[in-house]
Amino acid sequence: MRRIQSAFLLSLLTWCCHNVVCQVPFPENCPNVKIVDTFDLDRYMGIWYEYSKYPFIWEAGQKCQYAIYKNNGNGTVAVKNVGTFVIVNKSSSVQGTAKVIAPGQLAVAFRNQEVNEPNYLILGTDYDNWVVVYSCKNISSFAHTKIIWILSRQRQPSDEAIQAAKQVIKDNNLSEEFMIKSTQTDCPDVNGSNENGSDQVADASTISDQSIDFSSTTPSNVIQTA
């Protein structure tokens, strides 16, 4: 039985990668999670640096990732994701829009995507230091893929902030085993100059014209209050 499950997960991983949703595959449906029951959108706006995440194909080969959120004032949020490609030392960015669906639940879309179901779920945040973001997609009746991000307000967050974020992951019975720590050293600042005084990297440019799908649906069994 274990051999069959292993073969299935290997096939599933291959399928995921070929279908551009190369998150970590898991058996069964998306698990129950607890989303924050209140959410202050304005406090959440601004810059968030990526501390760690599950493997995510759209960030392969990048470091210094961060996101900028701006309230459009009409129930939507402007999203800009930025990262630096390590090999060529050039920054790249992609812009999108997030619809506020419910407290702590946003539907993020890039390019010409039409996303109406929340795919960006906030499991916990203190607004000033850390946030845990979650996305999960059922890809069949017996398998799902998911992503977890820990984001922070500082490129080098405190141990206390990260421990608080990890506790939220633990409280939701989610695994930290697949978390990959992001590199946030020798990075360009938000204006394009290098924070450590070395040569300036190239200005951010838009990535190739392809859709980004980091999980397009919310699991039906999500628990909507913490």
What is the CATH classification number for the domain harbouring 17?
2.40.128.20
Q: pLDDT at position 82, please?
A: 94
The C-alpha atoms of residue 104 and residue 111 are separated, in whole angstroms, by 23
| Any domain includes 220 | no
Token representation of residue 155 = 């490129």
| Any domain includes 224 | no
Average pLDDT over residues 100-112: 91
Say if residue 38's pLDDT is above 70: yes
Q: pLDDT at position 18, please?
A: 37
Average pLDDT over residues 12-24: 44
Average pLDDT over residues 196-219: 36
The pairs formed by 114-120 with CB atoms below 8 angstroms and a separation of 24 or more are 115/216, 117/216, 117/217, 117/218, 118/218, 119/214, 119/215, 119/216, 119/217, 119/218
| Any domain includes 226 | no
Q: Which of 209, 193, 196, 50 is nearest to 131 (CA)?
A: 50
Say if residue 163's pLDDT is above 80: yes
| Any domain includes 221 | no
Q: For residue 69, what are the domain limits?
A: 2-206
Token representation of residue 48 = 């968030």
| Any domain includes 184 | yes
For tokens 């998306």, name the residue. Answer: 30
The C-alpha atoms of residue 6 and residue 89 are separated, in whole angstroms, by 38
- Please state the φ and ψ torsions of residue 168, each to the nearest 5 degrees: -65, -45
Domain count, the chain: 1
List the beta strands (DSSP E) in 55-155: 62-71, 76-85, 90-102, 105-110, 120-125, 130-140, 143-152
| Any domain includes 187 | yes
| Any domain includes 213 | no
Q: pTM of this prediction?
A: 0.77
| Any domain includes 216 | no
